[in-house]
Amino acid sequence: MKLRLARVARHGAARTASTLGLLVLGAATVPPGQAAPKAPPPPAYVAACQSCHKADGSGVPGVFPRIAGRMGSAAQSAAGRKWMIANLIFGQSGAIEVDGKPIRGIMPAFARLSDAQIAEVLNWISAGQGKPFTAGEVASVRAQPGMNPAKVGQMRAELAKAGVIK
């Protein structure tokens, strides 16, 4: 608790507000069997992701998908884990539907993040569901040839069909 307070103090009032927001959101929107991420997010998430997906992962309905409380099943499936990693490294395009609203956006590629940073961000998003992502697991997906946002979108479509992504 001491550590948590020190951290909150260091990051200031904005972080405190987003931490509280997460607690409220966690209660309201996370379905059974899906855990919401615990605040605070890792630095790579704050720098690269929160401008669109928001500090608590709640996103913007119809524009940027909510990722909090939605990635647990994917994190527990081999194909789902590959997709989650590929989504960050290569980006994603294609029409999707999240929380009953269509989204037609493009997720930018974040190949510039290190394998360790990507593993850390995915561990935060999946909130301890599935085994921990490691830098080695990220590196093996990064090495796959011929990947691009549209292919990641196809991976996602198959997972959605199989009910792994909702």
- Complex with ligand HEC: residue 2 or 33, whichever CB lies closer: 33
In whole angstroms, give the CA distance from residue 23 to residue 28: 9
- Complex with ligand HEC: residue 9 or 150, whichever CB lies closer: 150
CB of 11 to ligand HEC, least distance (A): 18
- Complex with ligand HEC: residue 6 or 95, whichever CB lies closer: 95
CB of 140 to ligand HEC, least distance (A): 18
Tokens of 108: 């930018």
For residue 97, report the phi and psi dihedrals to the nearest 5 degrees: -130, 125
Q: How far, in Å, are 18, 21, 152 from residue 58 at the CA level?
A: 11, 10, 22
Cα–Cα–Cα angle for 49, 54, 59, rounded to 5 degrees: 100
- Complex with ligand HEC: residue 53 or 82, whichever CB lies closer: 53
- CB atoms closer than 10 angstroms to residue 51: 10
Whether the upstream peptide bond of residue 132 has omega within 30° of 0, thus cis, is no
**Amino acid, single-letter form, for residue 81:** R
CB of 21 to ligand HEC, least distance (A): 18
Where does this chain bind ligand HEC (CB under 6 A)? 48-49, 51-53, 64-65, 67, 87-88, 92-94, 96, 98, 103, 105-108, 110, 121, 125, 153, 156, 165
- Complex with ligand HEC: residue 96 or 147, whichever CB lies closer: 96
In whole angstroms, give the CA distance from residue 3 to residue 154: 42
CB of 6 to ligand HEC, least distance (A): 26
CB of 86 to ligand HEC, least distance (A): 10
